A and B are shown apart, each in its own frame.
Chain A
Amino acid sequence: MKNCIIISLFILFTSHIWAQNYTISGYITDKESGETLIGANVFDESSLEGTISNTYGFYSLTLSAAEVKLNFSYIGFTPQTTTFSLIKDTVINVVLSNDLLLEEVEIKASKNQEKIQETTQMSTVELPVQQITKIPALLGEPDVIKALQLMPGVQSGSEGSSGMYVRGGGPGQNLFLLDGVPVYNVQHLFGFFSVFDPNAIKSVNLYKGAFPARYGGRLSSVVDIKLKEGNLNEFKGNVGVGLIMSKFMLEGPIKKNKSSFMVSARRTYIDILARPFIAASARRNDLRGSTTGYYFYDAIAKWNYIFSQKDKVFLSFYGGRDRFFATINDDYGNTESIFKTDSGWGNLVGSLRWNHQFTNKLFANTTATLSRFKLGNDIALKEETFEELTYRDEVSFGYESNVTDIGLKVNFDYLPSPSHYVRFGGKYIHHIFKPGVSNFKYEVAIDDFSYTEIDTIFGNNNIIANEAYLFIEDDWRISDKLKANIGVHLSSFFVEKKHYFSAQPRISMRYRFDDKQSIKASFVTMNQNVHLLTNTSIDLPTDLWIPTTANIKPQQSWQAAAGWSGTFFKNIEFSVEAYYKRTNNLVAYREGANTIATDRPFEEKITNAGKGESYGAEFLIQKKRGRFSGWIGYTLAWSWRTFESDNPNLEINFGERFPFRYDRRHDLSIVGMYKIRKNILFNATFIFATGNAINLIQESSLSLDKFAENDISFSEVKHYGGRNGFRAEPYHRLDWSFQFIKEKKRGERIWTVGCYNTYNRKNPFGYRWVQRRSSGRKLTRLSLFPIIPSFNYSFSF
C-alpha cells in the first residue's frame, strides 16, 4: 500500500514535466468584501479545459502554450473573460463583482457555471447562506442544520430538534467542521437551535456519501462550514432582534486589503424577560429570593492577515454555552433551606491557519486546532435548623464530562495539469476524554463544630487517545465524459496501549452523456473512533462522547451509491440517487441501562455489538434561478439495527433485527421562494415524514412469578412489540414567512413576519400512557410546538 502511494505521487508530480505547458494561477475574490470565493469556475474557452478555486480561493490551471480565452465565473457574480497568449507561467488575481442585487431573490448562474451533472461529487449538498436565511424557521431564527434537514437523505430528529440523521446514521456519526475544526455538540436549548449562527457563515457543504478522502472520522456525513473572513475593504454589519434572542455581526478592515476581522454574537433573553414573573411567583409562594432561568449565547471571532499573495494567516474562534440555573430558598418551622443547581454545557473551538503557496501548482494549508466540549452540573442543598444549637447539613453533588482535542493538520492542493487535482495531507489529534466524573460531599455542623462525613469522587477515569491520519485523493478527468475522484484515507488510533488501523478506499465516478445529463457512482468506506452515547427517549446534553478503547472497537461502514442527474428546461436540476450502507460495531446503551446515572463506568452500560443496514432512494428537483426558486426533495428509505452477540447482556431485542428509531419510509420537503415584488419575498416550506419507530408498551401479561406457589404479588411483563415496535403518527407542517426589505440611508432593513406550523398540527414529540380512574389507560401524545407566529427585525449596514 505504502509503495503504491509513493509511486502514484511520483507519477502525478512529474507527469507535467515533459509537456510544453505553462501554469496560470491566482486567487479569485469578491470585489465588495475582498473575501476569497470558494468553488469559482475558471474555464479556457479555447482548449475547453477548466478548474475551480479551492477552499481558500486559490486556483491553478496548466495549459499548453497557445492563445487562451479565460473565463472566470461564480454563482451570483458577473463573469469576467480575459484573452492573452500563454507563453510563460502567469499569475492572474481576479476580482468578481456581485450582481446579486439586495432586493433580488434569484441566484443567477453564468453559462459556464458548473451544473449538477458536471461535478464528480455526488451525495453532496451545497446550501447558499442567502437561502438559509430565507427559509421560514421556528421563532423566526434561521438555522443551518434545520435548513439541511430539508434536503433528501437528511432527517430531523424529534420535533424542533436540530439533530441530524443522514442515510440511517445516528446523530454522533456526523462530522461538523467549523473552519476545519470538529465541533462536538452542535445544539443549543436541548436541540431546538444549532450552534452555527448564519450571520457569520460563508459557506455550508454537506456530504452524505461519496466522501472525498480528505474527510474522515465519522460514518454518516460531513458538514463543512466555513466562516466569513471579514471584509477587507469596508465596515459592514448586521443587527437582528427576534422573539427570544438578539444578535449582531460586524466585519471590516484592520488594514485595508491587508488585514480584516469579523465578530458575531447572539444571546437569548428568556431568563431576563421572565425574571420579574419568577420573582413575583416566588413571593406568592413564600419562596422569597428564589429564582430560575435558562439562556444560551455564542460568539464567533475571526481575524486574518495577508502577508503576501503567497502567505495568509487566519485566526478563528467560537465559544458558546447553555446555562440552566435555579435557587430555591425555603423555610419551614425553624429550618431554612437553600437548594441550588447550575448546569452548563458548551463548546470552545479555535484554529490558527496558515495558507502558503509554494509554487503556482502547489498550495498548502497548515492548521493548528483546538476543540472542547464541556458539560457540568452542580447541585447543592443546605439546611439549617435553629434550636438551642444550630444544626447545619450540606449536601453537594457535582458532575463533569468533557472532551478536548488538540490537533495539527497539513493539507496540500497540487494541480499538475487540468486533468488532475490532487489533494494530500494528514492530521494528528491528541484527544483527552473525561467521560463523566462525579463528586459527592456531605458536611455536617453543630454550631461552630463541623466535620465532613463524605467527600468522594467516582466515575470514569480520563482517557487519553492519539489519532493520526493521512490521505491522498485525485480528482481525475479521464476523458471529456469520464471523471473520477479516487483516494484513500489511512487512520491510526492509539488508546490504552492498543492500536487500531484502518485503510479506507474512496472512489466516485461520473460519466457525462451530454451537456444535460450524467450518471454517477461511488463506493466509500469510513471509520469512526469517537462515539456518542445517546438516550433513546429524549435528546439531552448529557449525551456522552466516548472514545474507542481497548474494549470498544471503532465503528466502521461502507456505502455504495449510484445516481443520475441532469438539467432541463434551462435551469431545473433533477437528480436521483440510490444508496446502500452497512455499518459495524455500532455503540448503544444496553437494554435497561440508566443513561444519566454516573455510578458505574460507561463500558459496563454499553454494547458495541451493533450492525446497521440502510438503503433507499433520494429524489431532488431544484430550481435555482428566476422569480420563483426552490426545491422538492423526497426520500424513500429503510434503516435497520441488529445487536447480536454471544453475550446476551450485549444484545438488544434478543439479537433480532429492529427498525432504527428514525427509520422513515417517506420524507418529503417542499421549499419555495417567490419574489412578489422588488422588495417583498414570500417563502414557504412543507414537510411530511413517516412517524418515528419508538418504544411503546403495547400489551402486558402476567409474569412467571404470579404462578409461583402462594405468591400474592402482582407483577406483569410489559411487551413493546419488539424494539422500536410502535410507529408514531406521521409528521407534517407548513411554515411560511414574508420578508419586507427596504433600503435605508445607512443600510438595509428587513422585517420578517412568519408562521411556524400554520395549521396547528399537533405533531408527536412522544407518547405516554396515562392511567384514568374511569376509563383505564389512555395513550396521550405530547406535542411541542403549536402554531407559532414570529417577528424579526434585522438591519444590515
Chain B
Amino acid sequence: MFLALRDLRRSKVRFGLLIVAVGLLIFLTLFLQTLFASLVNSFTGGLRNQSGTVVVFGADARKNLSGSVITPAQQAAINDVPSVQSYGPLGVGAFTVTPAGANPKPVDAFLFGYELTKPGAPTTLTRGRLPQTANEAVVTANVPGFGLGQTVQIVPSSDAVDPLPITIVGEATDLRYSVQTTLFVSYNTFIAARRTANPAAAQQPVFPAAIVVTPNPGISPEQLARTITQTVTGTDALSRAAAAAAQPGVASVNQSFGLLILLTVIVVVMVMAFFFLILTVQKQNAFTLLRAAGASKGYLRRAILIEVVVVLAGGLLCGFVLLALGVLVINQIFPATVNPNAALGYGIFLCVLGFLGALFALARIRKFRPENAANAPALGGLA
C-alpha cells in the first residue's frame, strides 16, 4: 500500500493522464451504449409499449409501419383466424403538430390511432389516463408543449381546413416512435388527422398501418403470428418484440453500435495492459532490488494491484462524470437517458476487462528474481 501510494503521489502527471485516458474510454463506451439503448427505445418505443402482443403488417411493407397497409378484406380474414382473442386497427403516421404555449413552433410528431376498447393502447402510462373519446391523447412524457391538460393542434396543409385540436389526457414513458414525440389517439381521431393533413385525399379510404392482436390464453404471440402469416394472404405477422426489432434503423443501429462498442472495449483492455506492462518493465531494476532486499512477489503484485484499482476507480469516476455531461449535451439534439443500472454494470464490466489487461504486468513480476540484482550493472552488480 505504502509503495503504491508513494508511486502514485510521485508520478501524478503520468497516472493523471492514464486516469483521464481510461476515463475517456469508459465514457466513450458508456456513451455509445447509452446512445444505442436510447436510439433503439426511441425508434420503437411506441410499438413496443402498446398492448397488442401480435402485430400484423402488410406483406409489401417490409415490416415497416410507415409503409404498411392492411385492407378491410385482410382485417376480416384476421378475425376468422382461430386463437385471436381480440384485434384492432393501428393507424400510424407522421404529422406536423403545433405544441401548446405562447408562440409555439410546429414540431414533427407521430400519431398512433387505435380503437379505444381494443388492443393498441399504451402500456406505460405514468400520469393521467387513457383517451376515452375523440381528440384526446396519451403522449410521450416530459415533452415541452405536450403537458397534461394542454391542447396541441395537427397542422393542416391548406387554409381551407381548420387545425385539429387534441387534448393531452395522459403521459407515458418510452413512447417515442422514429425518435419523434408520439401521441396515442382514438382511431377516428387518427383518420381526422389524416384528413386535416391531406384534404386532397378526403375521398380516399384511410387504411390502418397494422392490426394489433391479443391471442387467446395459452397461445403464444409467436404461434399466433405464424398462423396469421400462413392463413391471411398478403400479411406478415410478428410478435410485438420481433416487430419492434424489425423496424427501420434498428438492425443497422444494432450492428454498427455493436461493432463500435466492441472496438472501444478492445482499446480499453489494450491501454490498461500496455500502460502497466511498460510501467512494470521500467521498474524492473527497482523491483529486482526490492526483491533482493526481501520484498516478496506478493508485496510487489499488491503494489501494482493497488495502482490498477486506483486508475480504474478514477477512470470509472471520470467516465461517469463525463457521461452525465455528455448526456446533458446530447439531450439538446436527441432524447437520451442513462439507465443507471446498465451503466454501472457496463462500467464494472469494463473495469474487470481493464483489470484482466493489467494481469500481464502482474505476471511479469515473476521474472524479477532477487539474484539478478547481483548481475545488474545499474544496481551496482557485475554484468
Q: Tell whether A and B belong to one assembly.
A: no
What residues of chain A have their CB less than 8 Å away from a CB belonging to chain B? none
What residues of chain B have their CB less than 8 Å away from a CB belonging to chain A? none
